[in-house]
Structure 1
């Protein structure tokens, strides 16, 4: 009985954790990215990862880009805004 109860509590915690991470946040209009100067590459072969939007406190906030080490056999795909029936949503960039 105790092990079943522990299992149910554990599953509910995991389900709550994953459901809170998977949200899509729509806005009526896309925010404008702030201007900032890209710093000089810190070493040869560095890959620039462009800035990203993230949802915080009822709206999107911008995080500046950064230099990263290249990943062998992979390319960085930039994040982008997509328009849907409920407004605009940000799709994060990723390594492919």
Structure 2
């Protein structure tokens, strides 16, 4: 009898805890960061072509505090795809967003 009572109370307590709405338990904080216009691209001397590779030009990367230049490099080509380099685009509210590189068919 005693074990049944303890088990019943435990199950009721667990069930009541699970019925608490998640909105009361979870809290979220959102921080908006305004990134200024990136500097103009740097001039890079492109090395001679390499068979089986495409040249990925350098770009400005945002570190969370400032823009840092990432120099260009050779990337292994993907047959049937075209390399599209990363680029900065200005959003509708004047904010800047980095679009990462991708491979298009």
TM-score scaled by structure 1? 0.59
Aligned partners of 2:61, 2:69: CA distance in 1, in Å?
A: 6
Deviation at 1:69, TM superposition (A): 2.1
Partner of 1:56: 63
Unaligned runs of 5+ in 2: 1-31
Partner of 2:88: 81
Runs ≥4 in structure 1, deviation > 3 angstroms? none
Query: Highest Rg: 1 or 2?
Result: 2
Residue 70 of structure 2 corresponds to residue 70 of structure 1: no
Relative contact order, higher structure (CA 8 A, sep 6+)? 1
TM-score scaled by structure 2? 0.55
Count how many residue pairs are aligned between Structure 1 and Structure 2: 72
Residue 102 of structure 2 corresponds to residue 90 of structure 1: no
Partner of 2:9: none
Aligned partners of 1:25, 1:50: CA distance in 2, in Å?
A: 26
